[in-house]
Structure 1
């Protein structure tokens, strides 16, 4: 909350020029602050007139005005080239929710508008399996950025970081800027800090009437951490989202009709991150995870869920949740082993083809085979997770499936979904589980090549971390196995990894 300190007798220069209502707070206008502009104040404004000097040594001479730069306010490290402005204009015109003439966006700097446009055209397609313009809930969030600054800032942060990753890899397909990755990264950090401050203000105010907006912001903070490295920072946001989901359960639907249809996809995304995050960390799930997961499992799967990039079948998510919980309990070894055997039978009974078929009536394309392969890959990867997470309590009887056979099955089902396929983004977790588990040099090379190639189309930091982490896992296995297995080693390490 920004507090006023007295008020001016007239509107500030920016508000007068843009014909908007000024709040007249001093020393600077909050309206300018909220739109990321430098307030020019209320007094006389000195302006360069390019006049001829009338006295002194420079008498009779005039001076060209300094080159105009992009408008002040917001991330401003990127120099917007003419080609970039053309790209910006075309993409702004193509988006129904982001028109440069609209009041919420007309006051933004060119750089901020560039990042919003880049989010629209580039980032949004990474957040769903198939980017169908009318069916991408993450693009719908853009229409709310004029009213909710925390959303605007965290979207700009994600966009700038994505842009930094892409320019660093040199994989950008179009000429949209002349910035270095470090400059875009600075923009990302500036916007993230602004968003953190605004989120803190919203939480401190105790006003949760627009709690779905806060949830959307938290979800985008998780996305930011995945874009960065997928290490450590995401946990704070999943824990906050978990608490907010309890509030949403207790207080019914959000008050904004535009967000009612988004609520399910927001909750499902946060919950999946919460659960997958426990697979490589020692963090414990709470009962509120059951609440959100119940929402995923019981609600009729809708269009947004079918197009979510985190395409892990809900039944298998429940198994991961249960394994993560009881594997960290203080129960007797035989009880843990019995639970593991029971859950393995649940996974064995799961039918990926029936699951994939159930999505076809609401999918935007016929993709039965790809979804079935992804479901099969998750099925075998979850078996590996059950066996490894409970290894301390396992007897040889629990290894009815050979771990190497499970890896081979995963690779068999991942092969029809290559890195250049839009469905690749749904295969990162099973890819990592297969790569970490296998001892076969050819399979290790295949998984590593798959993830490295995937970085060209999915320039996310968590994928880069997975590429760096696999050789460390292999080194550990060569030194210490048989002994504490690789999964327990990762869970007890100093880092909390999220590979999703």
Structure 2
């Protein structure tokens, strides 16, 4: 193309003018517009006194979907022009209809900018398929009535915005603080102070308090992915057990169920890379209810519940092996082999085809690959647990190669690719050849570009350190299931 693309001009970077999409937009995971895209809004004007007005109605619309553009393609520059919003990228980003203009009027330009950012970028990031019914977006009306929850949302947005200005290398080594960095720290401080006040003044915790703690888990993924997420997770579980909903309606109930299910998912995957018995066993999930039903529009990662249950079993056996004093009953090889066989027999395509479709058209092939990535990661993990019990060293080169192939195929599925950091990490820990290791690092670089979560550069660092030790000390292939949990940090690599 002869001129720089509109997206690069909007981001104030030099476009390579190579193609549509240009390489810079493609690498950043952004939609590349050759020219300024057309935008549809409610009313006869985007700006000025006629903004939100219609020809049939002489007053400003109170419908926030029309009155405020809640879409954002990318942050402005490091100075943040808080009066300007970027054009739509086509993602579903309408604010819930229960929010009124009056609710937003009290926010200063900085807060409104980051709320826009949360609505578009964060809500997309921490869900498999974004939709108008995204539970993270449904938290916005609750946040406008609860300052601590609002501050947690703004902290997420500001931290992601700050990370978005960094490369993978800077994400690993640190970089000078930007305006967004300071904003993130400020909002996080206010969120934690608000939580303290809420906990100290009441013994019956509202849904907003639980949601605030829950969002701090996601904030830790953006900050580092170690050492604080488990405290937030345990706090959310405790508060959820003590709380009773003071709000009414199906939206609040939907959000509560979403939080419970994601706590279950995070603790199931998080337990695989931490010290034995670090996480308490959650009493929140009633397996006889429909809480465990797989619904990808209401799932952070989309890992099948069957795989999560198997991983819980495997990580419990690992904990017993690592610390035999926590249980009188030692792991039985036949029980481990039986669960491992059941995981191997799991039908990923049948699972993907049977998923309920609430508001989006599912990509069955892509979801099959997503499930297969978790299935293969679970097989690798479970096989190493069984090896540790039987004192064997099973070769898994074929499984590792298939998992890496699945991971590279998911690069073409942007919504699904952002969900597979855990399988990528497991594949990396099993890699022995330099070519596979280089490919894993390339995939992690793409993952960082898509998500801007700082646990990604930390995952790269963990793998590189582990590979150096493996090559130098010739440690056994089963050792990684224990070594990460014995490190000085408790990692959440999801």
**TM-score with structure 1 setting the length:** 0.73
Are 2:441 and 1:473 aligned? Answer: no
After TM superposition, the structure 1 = structure 2 runs for residues 75-90 of structure 1, keeping only pairs within 5 Å, are 79-81=79-81, 84-87=82-85
Using the TM superposition, give the Cα deviation of residue 119 of structure 1 relative to its aligned residue in structure 2, in angstroms.
1.0
Partners of 2:330 and 2:276 lie apart in 1 by: 23
Q: Provide the residue aligned with 1:15 in structure 2.
A: none
Whole-angstrom distance in 2 between the partners of 1:148 and 1:155: 11
Unaligned runs of 5+ in 1: 1-76, 171-179
**2:40 paired residue number:** none
Separation in structure 1 between the aligned mates of residue 283 and residue 143 of structure 2, nearest angstrom = 31
- 1:421: Cα distance to partner? 1.5
1 CA distance for matches of 2:434 and 2:482? Answer: 22
Mapping 1:306-385, distance limit 5 Å: 308-329=299-320, 330=324, 335-359=331-355, 361-362=357-358, 364-385=360-381
CA distance in structure 2 between the partners assigned to 1:98 and 1:228 by the alignment: 32
1:333 Cα deviation from its structure 2 partner: 8.9
Runs of 4 or more off by more than 6 Å in structure 1? 88-91, 98-101
The correspondence for 1:486, drawn from 480, 484, 487, is 480
Looking at structure 1, the residues matched to 474 and 328 of structure 2 have their Cα atoms a distance apart, in angstroms, of 24
Q: Alpha-carbon deviation of 1:366?
A: 3.1
In the TM superposition, residue 302 of structure 1 has moved relative to its aligned partner by: 4.4
Residues 129 and 296 of structure 2 are in contact (CA less than 8 Å); yes or no, is this contact kept in structure 1? no
Give yes or no for the alignment of 1:217 onto 2:208.
no
Match of 2:116 in 1: 117
Per-residue deviation, 1:153: 0.5
Corresponding pairs, count: 401
Maintained 8 Å contact 1:160/1:184: yes
> Which has the greater radius of gyration?
1
- Using structure 2 for the length normalisation, give the TM-score: 0.74
Aligned to 1:135, the other structure's residue is in SS state coil
Change (3 A) 1:437 1:80: closer
Indicate if the aligned counterparts of 1:297 and 1:314 stay in contact, CA closer than 8 A.
no
CA distance in 1, matches of 2:342, 2:144: 47
Aligned residue in 2 for 1:239:
234
Which residue does 1:49 correspond to in 2? none
More off after superposition, 384-393 vs 156-165: 384-393
**Residue 168 (structure 1) aligned with residue 132 (structure 2):** no
Q: Distance in 2 between matches of 1:244 and 1:336?
A: 36
CA contact (8 A) 1:228 1:462 kept: yes
Query: Which aligned pairs between 1:8-157 and structure 2 lie closer than 5 A?
Result: 79-81=79-81, 84-87=82-85, 95-97=94-96, 102-132=101-131, 134-157=132-155
In structure 2, stretches of 5+ residues that fail to align are 1-76, 169-175
Q: Give the Cα separation in 2 of the matches to 1:141 and 1:381.
A: 32
C-alpha distance 360-113 of structure 1, shift in aligned 2 (>3 A): same
Q: 1:248-263 residue pairs with structure 2 within 5 A?
A: 255-257=247-249, 258-263=251-256
Are 1:246 and 1:288, in contact at CA under 8 Å, matched by a contact in 2?
no
Secondary structure of the residue aligned to 2:83 is helix
Q: Report the aligned-residue RMSD.
A: 2.9
CA contact 2:333–2:390 (8 Å) conserved in 1: yes
